[in-house]
Structure 1
């Protein structure tokens, strides 16, 4: 249940999703998550870092090995969500 609690926090999954493509600086990440406040972004990065899902490198923030594994588990939800959204139309 702990991972659902973490990922259920505002913008946590969005950050994981954005970092799946590669490292991003704080500013780049904030730009990709258009409506996120700097405070929320900072808090979520801290939460995800403490959970060893996100790490800091010279290039910015990136998913750790655990973060990449988590993303590979979450990625099929994208396909399902696309189908689901079409059903709701």
Structure 2
């Protein structure tokens, strides 16, 4: 029986990150693959959230980084920011249709990460413990 990687390769061509289109793709990947963006997208998968709800839900993110991340994702069309004219002002963030497709695309990567974190930790420990490892 073929493994998942060879089956996936047989059904569609591999993604190309070379050439002009690949350069643009890398630019987009850089925007969403930073430290915080996928956490924001994942948190918004449950529905609209206020800034304070996002801040509480994403462990370790500072107020400044959350602001920068939200602005970037809004600029790229991944989420929308809605301001309600009430006192005090109420602002919510919600995934767009494009943001939902990003969530669909990244869920397999997140699952892969969760399934393989122990193996990666073991490989790192083994690598870091080698006596013959070159140093700078």
Q: How much does 1:38 deviate?
A: 0.9
Match of 2:115 in 1: 83
Return the TM-score normalized by structure 1: 0.88
Q: After the TM superposition, list the runs of 4 or more consecutive aligned residues in structure 1 that deviate by more than 3 angstroms.
A: none
* Higher deviation after alignment, 2-11 or 33-42: 2-11
Aligned with residue 100 of structure 2, among 68, 79, 82: 68
Q: For this pair of structures, how many residues does the alignment match? A: 89
Structure 2 gap ranges (5+): 1-25, 85-90, 123-136
The answer on 1:14 being equivalent to 2:39 is yes
Q: How much does 1:24 deviate?
A: 0.7
Q: Name the larger-Rg structure.
A: 2
Q: How much does 1:35 deviate?
A: 1.4
Aligned with residue 51 of structure 1, among 72, 76, 85: 76
Return the TM-score normalized by structure 2: 0.60
Match of 2:62 in 1: 37
Match of 2:49 in 1: 24
> Helix, strand or coil: the match of 1:55?
strand
Q: 1:39-69 deviations in whole A, cap 9, x for unaligned?
A: 1111110000000001023571111000001
Greater share of helix: 1
Structure having greater relative contact order (Cα 8 Å, sep ≥ 6):
1
Q: 1:5-29 deviations in whole A, cap 9, x for unaligned?
A: 1023331111111111111100000
